[in-house]
């Protein structure tokens, strides 16, 4: 029987599953041990696996990723937490010029089975420096894999796939989803990177979304169904690798494409998806690709302003309705 747990609890379940299976898996990061993580996503792991495998670090993103990179190069499979996704900018050189390129520049002599996890996205009133959706930054870097789960089951399954992967994986946990609940299969649960999921089948339009926006897309699809508009909602789950086959199959089915992105509009992942669709699926399209995004602004902290900036169910409904004429 499946168990119902929160997205937050699923992080600890996924990590515990892999730590029990493989003694080379270790956790490092700020406040992940004694405090159980700033978002309480690693609660109980110190008690279960001890201080040698669950290690608190100083407040230094460079130190955390430098140690994790060295550990991965010498036989361990580290999972490093940077708290807020915004903080990846503090150690940008390590991520972009070292971790992402080590395997390529050594001709495969060195692999980096390393996971970097952090809380991503807005909606919690943390302001412009603690609310960014950074998947677009990371997607642009060759050598990194980029994963954004939207359900507790995906957190567990994709975490297992990420830990077992031989390449560095950026694992973006959606802060707004930590308290949400869902079913997770009992026993070992392992998913596959680079596989999208059709969360709702439909025939009139395809809505592609990621993370928190998957739930808003589903809410919009429910409202549109009451108007006789049948939308398919595809959860991409992974940007690198990207499941182009599932994208193309949905486009061929509906002929109309919408993306729902929490990140700023300029150079967002939806722009890349639109480019792929235009090249690979042009003759299946019945209308231009439409994007629903956050404006190209720093996210405000005020409740009403942040809510106005991040795509809402109502805005998705309005754009789809307009796009279908």
How does pLDDT run along the chain (325 residues), one tens digit per residue? 789 999 999 999 999 999 999 999 999 999 999 999 999 999 999 999 999 999 999 999 999 999 999 999 999 999 999 999 999 999 999 999 999 999 999 999 999 999 999 999 999 999 999 999 999 999 999 999 999 999 999 999 999 999 999 999 999 999 999 999 999 999 999 999 999 999 999 999 999 999 999 999 999 999 999 999 999 999 999 999 999 999 999 999 999 999 999 999 999 999 999 999 999 999 999 999 999 999 999 999 999 999 999 999 999 999 999 999 8
Residue with tokens 């949400």: 180
| pLDDT score, position 1 | 75
Q: Is residue 213 part of a domain?
A: yes
Note whether 82 and 164 are same-domain residues. yes
Q: What is the pLDDT of residue 325?
A: 84
Q: Which residues pair with 91 in a beta bridge?
A: none
| Domain co-membership, 22 together with 170 | yes
- Tell me, yes or no, whether 253 lies in a domain: yes
192 assigned to some structural domain: no
Residue 227 CA neighbour count, 13 Å, CB half: 14
Could you tell me if 151 and 130 lie in one domain? yes
Residues 20, 149 share a domain: yes
- What is the tally of structural domains in the chain? 2
Residues 151 and 264 in one domain: no
pLDDT (0 to 100) of residue 222:
98
Cα–Cα distance for residue pair 292/59, rounded to 1 Å:
36
51 in the same domain as 98: yes
Let me know whether 86 and 129 are in one domain: yes
Q: What is the CATH number of the domain that holds 8?
A: 3.40.50.970
Q: What is the domain extent for residue 154?
A: 3-184
Residue 110 lies in a domain: yes
Are 178 and 214 in the same domain? no
Distance CA 259, CA 301 (A): 25
* Strand locations in the chain (E): 3-6, 25-29, 54-56, 77-84, 115-120, 145-147, 169-174, 181-184, 197-200, 205-209, 231-235, 238-240, 257-264, 290-294
Beta strands in 180-308 (DSSP E): 181-184, 197-200, 205-209, 231-235, 238-240, 257-264, 290-294
Mark whether 102 and 165 lie in a shared domain: yes
Token pair belonging to 311: 């795509």
The answer to whether residue 66 sits within a structural domain is yes
Residue 191, domain member (yes or no): no
CATH code, 298: 3.40.50.920
Query: Do 211 and 166 belong to one domain?
Result: no
Among 121, 153, 184, which residue terminates a domain?
Answer: 184
Residues 226 and 97 in one domain: no
Amino acid 3: pLDDT = 92
> 272 and 208: one domain?
yes
Catalytic residue positions?
130
- Rounded Cα–Cα distance for residues 313 and 25 (Å): 39
Does residue 220 lie within any of the structural domains?
yes
CA distance 225 to 127: 35
- The torsion angle over the Cα atoms of residues 4, 21, 75 and 155, rounded to 10 degrees, is -10
Residue where a domain stops, chosen among 154, 184, 214? 184
Any domain includes 190: no
Boundary-marking domain end, from 127, 151, 184: 184
The conformation of residue 255, written as its DSSP 8-state character, comes to S
Nearest CA to 271 out of 132, 135, 87, 100 is that of 135
């Amino acid at each position: 029987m499946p168990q119902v747990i929160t997205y937050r609890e699923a992080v600890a379940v996924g990590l515990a599953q892999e730590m029990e299976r493989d003694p080379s898996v270790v956790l490092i990061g700020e406040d992940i041990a004694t405090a159980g993580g700033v978002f309480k996503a690693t609660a109980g792991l110190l008690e279960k696996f001890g201080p040698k495998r669950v290690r608190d670090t100083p407040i230094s993103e460079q130190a955390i990723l430098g140690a994790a990179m060295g550990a991965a190069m010498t036989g361990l499979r580290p999972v490093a937490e940077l708290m807020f996704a915004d903080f990846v900018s503090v150690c940008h050189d390590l991520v972009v010029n070292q971790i992402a390129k080590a395997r390529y520049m050594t001709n495969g002599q060195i692999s980096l089975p390393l996971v970097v996890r952090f809380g991503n996205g807005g909606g919690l009133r943390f302001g412009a420096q603690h609310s960014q959706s950074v998947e677009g930054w990371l997607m642009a870097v060759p050598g990194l894999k980029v994963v954004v789960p939207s359900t507790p089951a995906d957190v567990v399954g994709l975490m297992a796939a990420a830990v077992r992967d031989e390449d560095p994986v950026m694992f973006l946990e959606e802060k707004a989803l930590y308290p949400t609940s869902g079913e997770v299969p009992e026993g070992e649960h392992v998913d596959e990177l680079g596989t999208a999921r059709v969360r709702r089948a439909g025939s009139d339009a395809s809505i592609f979304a990621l993370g928190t926006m998957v739930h808003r897309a589903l809410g919009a699809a429910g409202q549109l169904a009451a108007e006789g508009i049948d939308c398919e909602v595809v959860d991409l789950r992974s940007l690198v690798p990207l499941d182009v086959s599932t994208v193309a199959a949905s486009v061929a089915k509906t002929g109309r494409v919408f993306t729902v992105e929490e990140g700023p509009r300029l150079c967002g992942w939806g722009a890349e998806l639109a480019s792929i669709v235009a090249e690979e699926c042009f003759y299946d399209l019945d209308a231009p690709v439409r994007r629903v995004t956050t404006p190209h602004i720093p996210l405000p902290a005020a409740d009403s302003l942040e809510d106005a900036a991040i795509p809402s169910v109502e805005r998705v409904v309005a754009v789809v309705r307009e796009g279908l004429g």
